[in-house]
């Protein structure tokens, strides 16, 4: 066995404790990483389905039974309250590559003029657990009201510290995002039911069950299809003067198309292929709707599937605040916030459609656009919380196009398009 020793204080662990990475040399035994905890302190264990085990200190909920999720990592340097409450992380164990997490605590639950939480992207923690290298038990921030650990414990979310996240990310980058089991006392050799969250319709779980309206006095009415929408998407549209009608993921869009000046498809968790009802609605909209349609993240994938593209799972996804995307219409590169594990295969575009943005790192799709109709989407998050805001202009462009279509008297659905929509509905069925 080879042992790597590293000194350094952990906030809730012994000052002189040594991190031990015990892995077999020359054989195929999986990595066993151990960081001893203080006497009497609670131990947490992360076990990957492929056998690697990381033992450290527990600072979240005491969960003797392991919580299973897809283990993914984010390279974001800031914004852990926003990331943890992003519905796109539903069903996942979230690994932070930023070494120090928790140092500015958790902010108070204040709401804005639209009734949305200012500092969180939804009403609760969405990820199933978090993994960090160095948890800061002592926090300091003018707006903080509790520690990260207290928040996780209150919401029943396990959390582990003392993990060599560099080694863990190296594994995930090599073999791809992997199912993991995290618990405060989860034995490394305990029987675990490896249920894949991506086999579930996570969008249906994250979506609103009813229609809701924000900023009722807005001058244009935008239908926002909730696939797991972030609060800041709603806020960004409202701040631009739009009335936002939030509808469930499987809402009959064309049944009430005339009341909507534009359609917006949100982000969301899981596999896009699980959202057959949304894809069918968008296919009908493409055939009949004349006003602007815009999609973000999951919305990009669903619009692509409705247009005739296929989606595939990325090896380890793109999650972080520093992903470069190139606008193929201007050749300009923008830095974007991203959180997705799937992408569109844009190697062959359907007739009438073109690639919009491309990832400058891995060449994956970052957006599509229709050549004649006002339909387009992006894979990244223009409304990024917490940043960057390089592409916030896309929200303004969308709302401006919605206003222009309304001012021009563009009908939502033309007579000839209604028959085309009916045909598309029959084909979907």
pLDDT of residue 184: 78
297, 340, 366, 370: which is the annotated catalytic residue?
297
Mean pLDDT computed over 113-132: 98
For the stretch 244-302, pLDDT in tens is 999 999 999 999 999 999 999 999 999 999 999 999 999 999 999 999 999 999 999 99
Comparing CA positions, the residue from 68, 48, 87 lying closest to residue 339 is: 87
The helix-helix angle for 276-288 and 298-307 (nearest 10°) equals: 60
Distance CA 324, CA 153 (A): 36
Given a cut of 90, whether residue 4 has pLDDT beyond it is no
Measured CA to CA in angstroms, residue 354 lies from 17, 53, 301, 375, 406 at distances of 56, 44, 14, 11, 25
Question: Which DSSP string corresponds to 73-133?
Answer: EE--SS-HHHHHT-GGGTTEEEEE-SSEESTT-EE---B-TTS-BSS-SSSS--SSEEE-S
Distance CA 399, CA 146 (A): 38
Mean pLDDT computed over 196-222: 97
Mean pLDDT computed over 44-58: 94
- Confidence label for 330 from pLDDT (cuts 50, 70 and 90): very high
Strands 353-359 and 365-370: antiparallel
Comparing CA positions, the residue from 366, 380, 354, 398 lying closest to residue 267 is: 380
Strands 293-296 and 106-107: unpaired
The model carries a pTM of 0.90
70, 275, 381, 417: which is the annotated catalytic residue?
381
Least confident of 80-84, 341-345, 350-354, 386-390: 386-390
Mean pLDDT computed over 161-179: 96
Least confident of 105-119, 207-221, 385-399: 385-399
Given a cut of 60, whether residue 78 has pLDDT beyond it is yes
pLDDT of residue 10: 33
Residue 280 or residue 413, greater confidence? 280
270, 201 contact by CB (below 8 A): yes
How many helices (H) and strands (E) the chain has is answered by 9, 23
183, 46 contact by CB (below 8 A): no
Given a cut of 70, whether residue 422 has pLDDT beyond it is no
Mean pLDDT computed over 6-24: 35
∠ Cα 244 248 254 (to 5°): 80
| 383 part of the active site | yes
- Confidence label for 405 from pLDDT (cuts 50, 70 and 90): very high
Distance CA 289, CA 276 (A): 19
Q: In 274-414, which residue ranges form alpha helices assigned H by DSSP? A: 276-288, 298-307, 393-407
SS3 content of the chain, % helix, strand, coil (to 5): 25, 30, 45
Least confident of 28-32, 198-202, 220-224: 28-32
| 333 part of the active site | no
Distance CA 184, CA 190 (A): 13
What is the torsional sign of CA 205, 123, 339, 64?
negative
pLDDT of residue 22: 42
Mean pLDDT of the chain: 90
pLDDT of residue 426: 53
52, 82, 366, 383: which is the annotated catalytic residue?
383
- Confidence label for 35 from pLDDT (cuts 50, 70 and 90): confident
∠ Cα 29 35 41 (to 5°): 130
Distance CA 249, CA 5 (A): 50
Given a cut of 70, whether residue 171 has pLDDT beyond it is yes
Name every residue whose Cβ is closer than 8 Å to that of residue 400 and which is 6 or more positions away in sequence: none
- Confidence label for 314 from pLDDT (cuts 50, 70 and 90): very high
Given a cut of 80, whether residue 189 has pLDDT beyond it is no
For the chain, percent of residues with pLDDT exceeding 70 = 89
pLDDT of residue 115: 98
| 251 part of the active site | no
Distance CA 368, CA 379 (A): 9
Measured CA to CA in angstroms, residue 136 lies from 10, 42, 100, 148, 155 at distances of 8, 16, 7, 8, 19
pLDDT of residue 40: 77
């Amino acid at each position: 066995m080879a042992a790597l020793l590293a000194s350094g204080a952990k906030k809730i662990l012994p000052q002189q404790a040594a991190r031990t990475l015990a892995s077999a040399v020359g054989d195929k035994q999986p990595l066993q990483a151990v960081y001893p905890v203080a006497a009497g302190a609670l131990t947490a264990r992360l076990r990957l389905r492929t056998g690697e085990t990381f033992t450290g200190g527990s600072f979240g909920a005491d969960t003797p039974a392991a919580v299973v999720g897809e283990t993914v990592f984010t390279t974001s340097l800031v914004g852990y309250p926003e990331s943890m409450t992003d519905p796109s992380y539903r069903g996942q164990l979230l690994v932070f590559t930023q070494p120090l997490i928790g140092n500015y605590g958790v902010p108070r639950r204040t709401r804005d003029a639209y009734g949305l939480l200012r500092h969180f992207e939804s009403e609760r923690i969405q990820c199933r657990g978090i993994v960090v290298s160095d948890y800061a038990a002592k926090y300091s921030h003018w707006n903080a009201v509790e520690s990260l650990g207290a928040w996780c414990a209150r919401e029943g979310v396990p959390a582990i510290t003392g993990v060599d996240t560099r080694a863990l990310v190296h594994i995930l980058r090599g073999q791809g995002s992997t199912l993991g089991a995290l618990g405060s006392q989860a034995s490394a050799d305990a029987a675990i039911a490896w249920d894949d969250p991506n086999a579930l319709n996570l969008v249906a779980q994250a979506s609103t069950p009813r229609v809701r309206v924000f900023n009722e006095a807005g001058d244009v009415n935008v239908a926002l299809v909730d696939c797991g929408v972030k609060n800041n998407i709603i806020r960004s549209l409202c701040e631009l003067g739009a009335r936002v009608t939030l509808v469930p993921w499987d809402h009959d869009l064309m049944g009430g198309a005339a009341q909507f000046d534009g359609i917006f498809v949100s982000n969301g968790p899981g596999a896009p292929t699980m959202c057959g009802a949304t894809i069918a609605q968008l296919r009908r909209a493409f055939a009949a709707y004349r006003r602007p349609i815009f999609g973000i993240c999951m919305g990009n994938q669903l619009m692509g599937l409705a247009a005739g593209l296929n989606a595939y799972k990325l090896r380890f996804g793109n999650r972080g605040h520093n992903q470069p995307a190139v606008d193929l219409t201007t050749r300009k590169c923008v830095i974007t916030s991203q959180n997705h594990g799937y992408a569109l295969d844009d190697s062959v575009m359907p007739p009438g459609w073109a690639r919009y943005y491309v990832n400058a790192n891995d060449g994956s799709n970052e957006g599509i656009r229709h050549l004649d109709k006002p339909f387009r989407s992006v894979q990244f998050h223009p409304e990024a919380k917490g940043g960057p805001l390089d592409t916030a202009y896309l929200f303004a462009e969308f709302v401006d196009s919605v206003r222009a279509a309304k001012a021009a008297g563009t009908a939502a659905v033309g007579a000839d398009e209604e028959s085309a929509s009916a045909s598309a509905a029959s084909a979907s069925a």
